[in-house]
Amino acid sequence: MLLIRLSLRNLLRQKRRNIMLGSAMAIGVCILVVANSFSHGISDIMFNKIMRYVTGHVAIRFNERGGIMREIFRDKAVILEALKDEPVIEKADESIGMFARAIGNGRSDNVILVGVNTKEGISEKAMKEVRESFRLVEGDWKDVENKAIENPVIISAEKARYLNVGKNDVVRVRFRNMFGQDQAARLTIVGIMKNDNIFMQPVVFLEMDAEKELLGYRPYETASLSLTIKDPVKNAAALADRIHDKLSHPGTAIIYASASGRTASRPVVVLGFKSDDDSEKKITGLLKLASGSFEKAFGKDGVILPAGLARTLGVSAGDAINIRYARKFEGTPREAVLHISAVCGSGQYPGQNIILMKDSAFYDLYYQDLPAGPGPGIKSYSAAASGDWSALIAPEWILLRRTYNTDDYKKKYQEIARNKWKGTTIDVSTMYETASDILKLESVLNIITISAVLVLFFIILLGVVNTLRMTIRERTREIGTVRAIGMQRSEVRDMFLLETFFLTLFASAAGLLLGFISMRLLSLITFHPVDNPLGMLLVNSHIYFLPTFNGIAGSVLLIIGIAVGTAWFPARRAANMSPAQALGHFT
């Protein structure tokens, strides 16, 4: 306590010098805190005000038949079942969007049709965030639910101005639905919104059910799922890993059907076989054909029957059979015609009542109308009991590997296009992994800021060293006196270090106060960016700062550490003075 009192007293003895040096330090701390808060603000905007609405905290994406733009999963209840026991999930939303060409009054432009589920309850916090990000200047969000209006939508003010349309006007759109069919529709504008983000200006919001109907989704189908969760920084990656584990064991894609040939009908199990080169090579080694050829069996619509089933049905290679099976979500059965490519005479066939189809044709049949389970008296098929065939049978879906940064995520989706998987792929990711470049941007901004401030502090710390040298020179006889009455060298050294510590601490506190005042004043300035990408860095047309405890504490500790470390050498030199020489010193 004595050293602390002496240090504080010595600071007050040299007010002018310490005020000037402390002011320079305070300015440096202010710059560091403001810049750090600005970079955190950019990251928060990108993640929580843009990426969150685009992908959710955790996203589950589906791609059918390797089509990057064909986002569809045929039985969303299966995925929702995997999510039901996760307490950190606050909300699971369907994420459906589609590019379209909009035609207004004499003008046309590209837009993105995005479905919103306004029928579900939404918390006040979530509603506040929506209103901040998408500020309605006309209409109300509930207007998109009005069934009396033809396809009611909310459009951005910029897009409405370009298309020369206003509220209650009709916009015609042309688009291609999930299945590649060209479609057209009329949209009625019931609301106009403002948004600072230039990338959100092409978005046209309409009710989710209407969006699904336009794009060809049936009620039990979905596109991507976006999950909003509690404490995403802590929970997002762990939740994505758990969901990935739950989906890592897909079942076998099976159609339980009745097959009819020339002479009879029999219950059958229709399976798809994988058609990659390795699988086809293994199948060739397992089967010996009685008629037909592997070339035809591995062709576009290849179908293989065992010899016993072919004799029962009265068919051979080149003939056709009819199959009929119950559908999972529809009351009427589905019928299809299969053309037999080959008949297996011997070898390791997976079962005498099984029809094998090439996976591309099989998935077309399977996904178009999901089959029901086995009927009464029908034995369930188990791929695990099929020996070598268990790895060759088409699964319900293909789960993509987990990736943890943007580069690996891009490579994964390049693999989808390259491998041309026939089944539906499922990918589980977090917004931090799909946009890790944003974190890199924040890190780069922080490095640039710290580098610039460190240059400033290097200049300031030269002042610290010079000030301490002058102080020590002026107080040499005082040092000799306290040493003569019993103060130890380490205590002399610590006294000077404490002076520097308290000076830096008080300067940092003043810098923090100055920084918060500066951020408050800067955030009051209103900007009006027009078609400027920098508008996405604003919130309600104002600069957005997000100071964090870790960021502020880290900045202050960094400055104090540098200052005290710099003061160590002059303080040690003062402590090493001989008391006799110090007492005989004259200034």
pLDDT, tens digit, for every residue of 335-361? Answer: 999 999 999 988 889 888 999 999 989
Report which of 114, 60, 397, 67 is spatially closest to residue 239, judged by C-alpha positions.
60
Give pLDDT tens digits for 266-309.
Answer: 999 999 999 888 899 999 999 999 999 999 999 988 999 999 99
54-68, 246-260, 395-409, 526-540: range with highest mean pLDDT? 246-260
Nearest-angstrom CA–CA distance, 525 and 541: 8
Reference 511, options 27, 16, 9, 18; nearest CA is 27
Closest CA to 500 of 534, 456, 467: 467
Q: How far apart are CA 349 and CA 50, in angstroms?
A: 53
Alpha helices in 216-356 (DSSP H): 232-246, 277-286, 294-297, 307-313
By C-alpha distance, which of 325, 328, 331, 306 is closest to 316? 306
Of 48-52, 320-324, 442-446, 530-534, minimum mean pLDDT range: 530-534
The more confident residue out of 184 and 43 is 184
What local confidence, expressed as pLDDT, does residue 238 receive?
Answer: 93
pLDDT digits (tens, 9 = 90+) for 114-133: 888 776 655 566 666 666 66
**Residue that has been written with the tokens 């230039």 in this structure:** 198
Average pLDDT over residues 7-28: 77
pLDDT band at 98 (very low <50, low <70, confident <90, very high): confident
Indicate yes or no: pTM above 0.95: no
41 phi, psi to nearest 5 deg: -65, -40
pLDDT at 536: 62
CA-CA distance, 462 to 469, in Å (whole number)? 11
Domain ranges of the chain: 2-51+436-583, 97-215, 254-396
Q: Note the CATH number of domain 97-215.
A: 2.40.70
pLDDT of amino acid 69? 64
Decide if pLDDT at 314 tops 90: yes
**Residue 64, token pair as written in the block:** 């059918």
pLDDT digits 0-9 by tens, 476-535: 667 677 767 777 777 777 787 888 888 888 888 999 999 999 999 988 887 766 555 566
Q: How far is CA 48 from CA 24, 43, 422, 524, in A?
A: 36, 8, 35, 22
* The predicted structure's pLDDT at residue 63: 86
Q: What is the pLDDT of residues 354-390, one digit of tens each?
A: 999 999 899 989 998 899 988 877 788 887 667 788 8
**Residue 562: which residues within 8 A CB-CB, separation 6 or more?**
454, 457, 461
